Structure 1
């Protein structure tokens, strides 16, 4: 995620880091070169004069802008829902840790439960990003728990099961009353819901055909646009075409980038920092004070 102070209006015009300009620069240069060629040839292809006006481009451009806006809103809705789900993970793990420390007799068993919550958070991040959680699980889980996770396909769900078994054992030992177990199970259910919501977002991308239609339309529109403008604005055609192409290409690139919010691109969610933040707040509830510093962005990017 891009984290940086907002520059003034002039520097905002020149910002490159954090924008999608580097990703679309090759397409813009090709569009500019093609528009220059069309302008130099006065809209002719060999001996054939391509007689287009700006009227059809006005109609198509308006429709295309609406579709791009819709796709951008859909992508951002996925991004924001993912952020809300991770906010719920923070709230519910914090509530469960507090309840385990204040409602259960004896702090030693509660430490195991809080460590399981931390392991769940890291396992969820690794599952969403398709990375190996072994290093984090080795830190927070016992040898027996890690052995149970060997070969497990959905490790966050398995860790939640172990946390539920811990609650069951506290009830059997008489360390936690049944009504209190039920109250804690509400938060456990919320964690399961957040896990399922994240899996739904990660496993259900925006339909590929929809993206193909918009992609093709944007490129055909930008390549044909010089023929519709050259007779009316002449030498300004390459500049205007490049500006319009930048708008459409940038919207498409941004939508494509944020529709998968769990990745590692600059505009994706900073899952590493969020996991470390949840880990720090849970350890602080355990009474630990020697906590690592909060993650800071590197080159304005927080991963």
Structure 2
């Protein structure tokens, strides 16, 4: 996630870090070069092939259609991004709710060990989900928050998040069977666990169901070919202004395509992806503060205006 202060509109024109310019700079350079060659060769081309000169109207129609196409694609990408952020908001709400109910239902120092075990397990749950969505190794984080017994059951498994929820559920069932939790209290906590499972499942659905690859190839191919042909079509009208205008139009289309590409995979570590490290740390701090425990995780650091 990009973290930058609000700048004056004039300063925004020169922002480099936090924009998509580094990712598309090579393609913009190629289009600028093609524009220069188009201007230099336009007179020779018109002398030898006067009937094959391109003009602006066809590119205007193509540009409008392409802009609409990109708009639909970016809307679909942002819908995935927002749905992912909503699910992580649910994780924050439900983990705090579960810890609050546990502390109010079983108060006192006699249950301090249970409070700590459950709170740490919830922190391990969100960090394990982050690693699962990013396809990274969660072993170090799981060993930090889980007891040795839980580590033996969870570490190395494909779906550690569900095993952690299962362990918490078993612990609460044991408290209910021992008569320390009333049925209504246990049902309320069980609903929190169910919602945590639903939210994690929704995140898995988003991560495992990307926008079809063919759709991505079509978008990339159409945008690049249009931007490469555009200088040829506007050279006869704009002359030496062609490199400037063609590069600016190409920047608009290529930047929109790049933003949509980053948003469609919201769980990664690119500039416009969700800051899962920061969200996990927030959830841990929120639950530990309720339970009166110190947070074990380190707050993520903003690097080059990007928070992961």
TM-score category by the smaller chain?
over 0.9
1:292: how far off? 7.3
Alignment of structure 1 residues 83-94 onto 2, 5 Å: 83-94=85-96
Distance 2:264 2:46 in 1: 39
The one-character-per-residue Cα deviations of 1:221-273 (angstroms, maximum 9, x if unpaired) are: 11111222111111111111111000011111111112111111121111111
The SS at the match of 2:16 is coil
1:107: how far off? 3.0
Judging changes above 3 Å, is the alpha-carbon distance between structure 1 residues 46 and 203 closer, same or farther for their aligned structure 2 residues? farther
Aligned to 2:189, which of 180, 184, 188? 184
CA contact (8 A) 1:157 1:192 kept: yes
Distance 2:152 2:47 in 1: 72
Distance 2:47 2:281 in 1: 62
Structure 2 unaligned residues grouped into runs of 5+: none
1:293: how far off? 7.5
- Find the counterpart in structure 2 of residue 264 from structure 1: 269
Judging changes above 3 Å, is the alpha-carbon distance between structure 1 residues 45 and 186 closer, same or farther for their aligned structure 2 residues? farther
Q: Is 2:288 the counterpart of 1:283? A: yes
Task: Give the paired residue count.
Answer: 303
Of stretches 150-159 and 33-42 in structure 1, the one that deviates more from structure 2 is 150-159
CA contact (8 A) 1:51 1:228 kept: yes
TM-score using structure 2 length: 0.94
Judging changes above 3 Å, is the alpha-carbon distance between structure 1 residues 118 and 150 closer, same or farther for their aligned structure 2 residues? closer
Judging changes above 3 Å, is the alpha-carbon distance between structure 1 residues 138 and 46 closer, same or farther for their aligned structure 2 residues? farther
CA contact (8 A) 1:123 1:133 kept: yes
Distance 1:261 1:45 in 2: 48
Distance 1:104 1:46 in 2: 90
- Find the counterpart in structure 2 of residue 137 from structure 1: 142
Judging changes above 3 Å, is the alpha-carbon distance between structure 1 residues 46 and 144 closer, same or farther for their aligned structure 2 residues? farther
Alignment of structure 1 residues 125-274 onto 2, 5 Å: 125-274=130-279
Q: Is 2:7 the counterpart of 1:2? A: no
Distance 1:248 1:35 in 2: 16
Distance 2:68 2:297 in 1: 46
